[in-house]
Amino acid sequence: MAIAMRIRAGNGDIRILMTHPSENGLRKDAKSGQLVPAHFVKNMTVVVNGKTVLYGQLGGGISKDPYHAFKVRGMKTGDKVTVTAEDNTGDKGSIETSAS
C-alpha cells in the first residue's frame, strides 16, 4: 500500500493529511491472538522551492491517518511545495502543490 496524501499550502501554512493504517506492532489480533506487525510512517520530508524545510523521523507512536500542520516563514503564493514520505515496509508517497 502506498502512502496517500492530501496537502494544502497557503499564507505560510502547510497542512498534510496522510492515509496510512499505522500499527505500532504491540496490538494483538482479536481472532488469532498474534501480534499485528508494525507498519508506520518512518520519515517525511517537506520541500519548498527545492529547499528542505522539514525532515522528520517518525515511529510507531504516530496515529492512523496522521495529520501534520506547521508554518513556513517567507512562503509566498505560487511557491512549489513537495511532500514525500516512506513507511517501514518501503512503501512511499509523494505529493506536490503550489501555495495559494
Q: For residues 43 and 62, what is the distance between their CA atoms, to the nearest angstrom?
A: 11
Q: For residues 26 and 74, what is the distance between their CA atoms, to the nearest angstrom?
A: 41
- Per-domain boundaries in the chain: 4-21+37-98
pLDDT tens for the chain, 100 residues: list them: 568 888 888 889 999 999 999 999 999 999 999 999 999 999 999 999 999 999 999 998 889 999 999 999 999 999 999 999 999 999 999 999 999 9
Q: What is the pTM of this model?
A: 0.89
pLDDT of residue 78: 94
Hunting for cell 512562503 — which residue is that? 75
CATH fold, domain 4-21+37-98, is Immunoglobulin-like (2.60.40)
pLDDT of residue 3: 80
**Hey, what's the cell of 17?**
493529511
Q: For residues 97 and 88, what is the distance between their CA atoms, to the nearest angstrom?
A: 25
Give the DSSP H or E segment for 46.
strand 41-48
The values of phi and psi at residue 88, to 5°, are -70, -5
